[in-house]
Structure 1
Amino acid sequence: MGEIIQVTSGAPWESIIGYSRAIRIGNRVEVAGTTAMRGDEVVGENDPYRQTVRVLQIIKKSLEKVGADLSDVVRTRIFVTDMSRWEEVGKAHRQFFKDIRPVVTIVEVKALIDPRLLVEIEAVAIISQ
């Protein structure tokens, strides 16, 4: 199975819930649901585009910590609290992935862990050997 590498981003819920931001096992990387938090601050409050950009920046940094990058991403799952604003989220996603084009799922959820959050994204990456 290979060595397991775990990384944290310092999000407040990581220690409370007991999870890692990302885990690499062999050439597979799983990135946990990621939101636009910076400490106790929500980056881009009331702005799904800015939140998505922040989320994807965190995901990018997490991938880099385990030896991967955005070009290794094969799937993203996007959770939004207001589907009527999906185009703002999609615009930011496209900026990061327009040439990579991973498979994507986007679903509306009732709420995220903090009511100020509008977007949460998970990612799966497969690192080419």
Structure 2
Amino acid sequence: MEKQIINSTNAPAPIGPYNQAVQAGNMLFISGQIALNPESGQMEQSDIIAETHRVMQNLRNILSEAGMDFSDVVKSTIFIMNMGDFGQINEVYGKYFTGYFPARETVQVAALPKGANVEISMIAVK
């Protein structure tokens, strides 16, 4: 099976020893994305709604680099700092999908990189 590294200049550069995504055959595995602005490298955290939009935009840009979009996503994992933010995160997340939603789990965690309040990873299939 052919493996290809996917990195988009329209998404934040990795902050550790990993890639934005790896495509293996027709499957795309996207590393967890936080609300880093790809141009400034700064976190966008004015509120949880804006932070979640930035995360979803980063994911959309990585999907696009691989020739995919949210309709190709089959699995998402959402990591959040505060389960009290779940409703707002869920509302924003849902706006990026049309038709069928992917499988998903949401987990409250003790800490996320760069002080993020939400991180989302995805698996897509073309």
TM-score normalised to structure 2 length: 0.88
Residue in 1 that maps onto 2:54 = 54
Residue in 1 that maps onto 2:44 = 43
Percentage of pairs with the same residue = 28
- Moved runs in structure 1, 4+ residues, more than 6 A? none
Residue identity matched to 2:2: G
Contact 2:8 2:61 in 1 (8 A): no
How big is each residue's C-alpha offset from its partner over 1:52-102, in whole Å with a ceiling of 9 and x where there is no partner? 111111111101111111110001100000001100100001101252310
Residue in 1 that maps onto 2:4 = 4
Contact 2:21 2:31 in 1 (8 A): yes
Contact 2:5 2:19 in 1 (8 A): no
Residue in 1 that maps onto 2:77 = 77
Instruction: Look up the SS of the partner of 2:95 in the other structure.
Output: helix
Structure 1, 104-113 or 32-41: larger mean CA deviation: 32-41
Per the TM alignment, residue 6 of structure 1 is displaced from its structure 2 partner at its CA by 2.5
Per the TM alignment, residue 8 of structure 1 is displaced from its structure 2 partner at its CA by 4.4
List gaps (5 residues or longer) in structure 1: none
Residue identity matched to 2:86: W
Instruction: Look up the SS of the partner of 2:30 in the other structure.
Output: strand
TM-score normalised to structure 1 length: 0.86
Aligned residues: 123
Per the TM alignment, residue 11 of structure 1 is displaced from its structure 2 partner at its CA by 3.1
Residue identity matched to 2:70: L
Per the TM alignment, residue 17 of structure 1 is displaced from its structure 2 partner at its CA by 1.7
Residue identity matched to 1:21: Q
Q: Which structure features the higher share of helix residues?
A: 1
Residue identity matched to 2:31: A
List gaps (5 residues or longer) in structure 2: none
1:81-120 → structure 2 map (5 Å cutoff): 81-115=81-115, 117-120=116-119
Instruction: Give the Cα–Cα distance (whole angstroms) in 2 for the partners of residues 98 and 111 of structure 1.
Output: 31
Residue identity matched to 2:77: R
Instruction: Look up the SS of the partner of 2:57 in the other structure.
Output: helix
